[in-house]
Structures are given as C-alpha cells and as structure tokens.
Amino acid sequence: MLKKVLIANRGEIAVRIIRACRELGIKTVAVYSTADQHALHAKIADEAVCIGPPKSKDSYLNMREIIAACELTGADAIHPGFGFLSENAHFARTCQKCGITFIGPLPESIEMLGDKATAKETMKKAGVPVILGSEGAIKTLGEAKALAKEIGYPVLVKASAGGGGRGIRQVRSEDELEAQMTAAKQEALACFGNDEVYIEKFIENPKHIEIQILADNFGNVIYLGERDCSMQRRNQKVLEETPSPVMTDELRRKMGESAVAAAKVCGYRNAGTIEFLVDKHLNYYFMEMNTRIQVEHPITEEVTGVDLVKQQLLIAGGEPLSIKQEDIKIQGHAIECRINAENPEMNFLPSPGVIKSLYVPGGPGIRIDSACYQGFEITPYYDSMIAKLIVHASDRETAIAKMRWALSEFIVDGVSTNIDFHLRLIRREEFLRGDYDNGFLGRTDILK
C-alpha cells in the first residue's frame, strides 16, 4: 500500500485527493506556487512544499521541482489530478525512473492514447466504432482536401495532442479548409507544442456520452455507467448528468463493453474515461480516452457508491479490484454544475478577486467539491472553476428540483459567477425534457 502521496495539482481536485488519502491512512504532501500560499490544499495536507512562481509552467508543470519535492518529503507516489501533468507520458516515465509510483496508467498507454489520431486507429482494430476520418495525422493541404471531399463537409480539423476543447476547428466547405487548418495548427502548437492535426466527419447535433472505467494491474476492467456531458460551451463542459436521458440498458451495456475493450487493447491501468459521440439514431463512436480522473467524476460516485479516487489509490498500491461488474448498480440520478468565477454577461470573462463572503448549500443529496473559503483570493493564473455542485436524488426530476434550490441558496460575493446562468439553464424546457445535444448552448441564448 502507498504510504505518502504527493499531489501535483491544486484547487478542488487536490483537496479531493487529500481527503481520499486521509481516509485510507495515507500521508499527503501538497505542492503550491507562490500565488497559492494561502490555498486550501496547501493548508490541509500533512506537508506542503513551494515549487515556484505563479505561472503554471514554473510551478505546477515544473517536473524537476515536483520530483525534488517528492524526494525531499519521502513521498512514494504522485497523484497528478486532472489538467497540468496528468496526461504527460514523459512525466509518468520520469516518476517511474525515480522509483515513484505515478497514480495513473503506464507511460506507454498515455502515449498511445494521448495522440488522438493514433488512438483512433488502435480502437478501430479493437472493434470499437470510430468517427469516419483520416487514418492518423494529415500531412498536407492536398491530402486534407481529398479526404474532406471523400467524407463530405462539414468536417472537423482536430489537434492530435488536443485537450480542454482547444485545437478544434469546424470546416463547412473547401474554401475554408486552408484557413481553419492553419488556425487549428497554430492553436495546437501554442497549447500543446505539437501542430499535428487529423480530420474527422462533423457529426450533427451529437450527444457527448462518456464511460468511466476502472482497471487494476492484473487485467481486470469494469465500467461504471455513463456521464452525459452534452451541455457544452465552446467544446467545454458546463453541466453533467448521469444517467443520460437518452440511455437505455442495452446501449449502456454495449458502450460499456466497448469501453472495456478500449481499455484492454492498450493495457490500461487505473481510472480512465472513454468519450463517445452518440448520434440521434443512438449510434456511438469513440472520440478519445482521457487517461486520468475527470472533473465530473463525482456524479458517477453518487450513483454507484464507488469512491473513484480511493480506487485509484488502491489500484496504484497494487491491490486487485474488489468490485466486480455485477456489483455496479446505478441508483438514482446525479447532476453536477461547474461553478466558475466568470461573468456570463461579458462573454464568460474570468473574474478573479477576493471572495468576500461565501455560503454553500447543504442537506441530503448535496455535495460541494471546492477549495474556496471566505477571504480566499482567486488569482488570474489558473482556471476559473471554483466549485462543483453535485446533487443526487432518486430520479431526474427530483435531482433537478434539488439543484434548483441548491443553486439559489449558493452565495459567492466578491467575484462574478455563473450560478445564475446555471439556474436559468436548468429551468429551460429543453433541459427539463432531457432534450439537448452538444450544440444546444451554442444556439441558445440562456441569458435572454
């Protein structure tokens, strides 16, 4: 079993991981930048080490400092959380070389899945349905033109190394192709240091439905139902729910089995998520696999009763999975709203500042995952998510009602938030009917 875990992250996910460690009797080490001196994760961990100045590249992405902090404190494992170094194969390999357990899959799996163009090829061979598109990366404009013509417009140009909704461009006709391909390449180079792109068919009004899996080091893989993440703004998730309003038992089993096949073909270990697009005929297609814990993991925890972060720690510590597929029962309905410090009235401009007062909702079935407290300063250096509000109830209607009251009790003073936006969103007829797809927020003005 692991003895001391260093958390190479910040914010609510760092706090979430520290709590899971405590429950398992594992000691914790937080790392923090100078901007996070007063951050909650640094306060509640057993030990905390400053790893550099505010900019991510100098602190939370600074592998050398993080490994040094590990050696300094004698931590035997690193949990990377999400974002930052979580999907960095080089970092996972560096940990391995230094004799530190990386809480996640092997570097080879991260490499294989991190290159999304190659990952699709691997999945196709494993019999997992994929979206029609280029075989691997696209090298020239000529190649792109020929392929796009063959599969038919609209198409998407996507960064092979992409993540967080960046490096994706829609192309509606051939005359847009060159400009959009250049734009996607530039964004990919700036964000990921790699300008490789691939092309796939743009699926009209699909739903984003992803499957959570857990895999131990002994080849056991299980799936834990789906999450519907179709409520997206600019390809970024805003609200997630499970079960998906369009899911059937039959489709869940089929997608679950595809997800398990996807994990097995790359020798996957630890927690992972297979993201699929589902069209209106309920055909599903592999989109990518995220080789880490996800932001929206709590909704799965609520409906399955499985603590995914604890499972990550147990698996990394070498324990075989104690849960079997038949143990997984989906109970009730869970919804998560991502609460961000941003101003929806000003095109969702981030809104850093000091939280002057804070009141969070509570009661049965209400969960807050956050690292905020009254007096805490939200700095402009990191992403704008300040809390996740998660509700769990016996059915969808009750969960929505619970979410409505929880949102209306939630008070954050000092910074702008999207709480009111969420309130308006969950009152929409389309949401109430469960009738929305990935394009819903793009074509609907929630504030009107």
CB of 210 to ligand ADP, least distance (A): 8
CB of 1 to ligand ADP, least distance (A): 27
The reply to whether 154 sits near ligand ADP by the rule CB under 6 A is: no
CB of 12 to ligand ADP, least distance (A): 11
Strands (E), 307-408: 333-340, 342-343, 349-350, 353-354, 357-359, 366-370, 377-378, 385-393
Measured CA to CA, the distance from residue 339 to residue 84 in angstroms comes to 20
Q: Output the furthest CA–CA distance in the chain (Å, rounded).
A: 60
Task: Report whether 147 contacts 153 (CB < 8 A).
Answer: no
Of the residues 182, 220, 235, 398, which one makes contact with ligand ADP according to CB under 6 A? 235
CB atoms within 10 A of CB 298: 25
Q: Which residues bind Mg ion (CB under 5 A)?
A: 275
The reply to whether 198 sits near ligand ADP by the rule CB under 6 A is: no
Measured CA to CA, the distance from residue 8 to residue 136 in angstroms comes to 32
Interface mask (CB under 6 A) for ligand ADP, residues 355-394, using x and -? Answer: ----------------------------x-----------
Interface mask (CB under 6 A) for ligand ADP, residues 388-427, using x and -? Answer: ----------------------------------------
The reply to whether 272 sits near ligand ADP by the rule CB under 6 A is: no
Stretch that binds ligand ADP, among 218-226, 283-291, 309-317, 329-337 (CB under 6 A): 283-291
Please, which of residues 35-94 interact with ligand ADP by CB under 6 A?
A: 82-83, 87
The reply to whether 312 sits near ligand ADP by the rule CB under 6 A is: no
Among 10, 292, 367, 396, the active-site one is: 292
Q: Which is nearer to ligand ADP, 73 or 270 (CB)?
A: 270
Please, which of residues 110-139 interact with ligand ADP by CB under 6 A?
A: 131
Stretch that binds ligand ADP, among 30-38, 71-79, 286-294, 407-415 (CB under 6 A): 286-294
CB of 153 to ligand ADP, least distance (A): 12
Q: Which is nearer to Mg ion, 113 or 407 (CB)?
A: 113
Task: Report whether 228 contacts 273 (CB < 8 A).
Answer: no
Per-residue b or e along 16-35, where b marks 16 or more CB atoms closer than 10 Å to that residue's CB: bbbebbeeeebbbbbbbbeb
Tokens 């927690």 sit on residue: 271
Q: Which is nearer to Mg ion, 24 or 168 (CB)?
A: 168
Q: What 3-state class would DSSP assign to 287?
A: strand
How far does CA 413 lie from the centroid of its chain?
27
Of the residues 12, 36, 200, 301, which one makes contact with ligand ADP according to CB under 6 A? 200
Amino acid at the residue 433: R
CB of 205 to ligand ADP, least distance (A): 8
The reply to whether 168 sits near ligand ADP by the rule CB under 6 A is: yes
Of the residues 12, 226, 275, 302, which one makes contact with ligand ADP according to CB under 6 A? 275
The reply to whether 177 sits near ligand ADP by the rule CB under 6 A is: no
Residue 438 binds which of Mg ion, ligand ADP, none (CB < 5-8 A, kind-dependent)? ligand ADP
Measured CA to CA, the distance from residue 247 to residue 406 in angstroms comes to 26
Minimal CB distance residue for Mg ion: 275
Q: How far apart are the first and last CA of the chain?
A: 54
Minimal CB distance residue for ligand ADP: 163
- CA-based angle 167:237:341, to the nearest 5? 100
- Is 292 in the active site? yes
Measured CA to CA, the distance from residue 52 to residue 179 in angstroms comes to 39
Contacts of 68-73 spanning 24+ positions with Cβ under 8 A: 69/6, 69/29, 69/31, 70/6, 70/29, 70/98, 70/100, 71/98, 73/4, 73/6, 73/29, 73/47, 73/49
Of the residues 208, 388, 396, 422, which one makes contact with ligand ADP according to CB under 6 A? 208
What are 353's two structure tokens?
Answer: 């500042």
- Residue 138's DSSP bridge partners are 197
The reply to whether 164 sits near ligand ADP by the rule CB under 6 A is: yes
Per-residue b or e along 353-389, where b marks 16 or more CB atoms closer than 10 Å to that residue's CB: eebeebebbeeebbbbbbbbeeebebeebbbbbbbbb
CB of 308 to ligand ADP, least distance (A): 12
Measured CA to CA, the distance from residue 332 to residue 317 in angstroms comes to 31
Q: Which is nearer to ligand ADP, 292 or 333 (CB)?
A: 292
CB of 422 to ligand ADP, least distance (A): 16
Helices (H), 158-292: 174-192, 249-265
CB of 378 to ligand ADP, least distance (A): 14
* For residue 380, cis peptide bond before it (omega within 30 degrees of 0): no
The reply to whether 194 sits near ligand ADP by the rule CB under 6 A is: no
The residues binding ligand ADP (CB under 6 A) are 82-83, 87, 131, 156, 162-165, 168, 200-203, 206, 208, 232, 235-237, 275, 277, 287-288, 290, 294-296, 383, 438
What are the residue numbers of the active site? 292
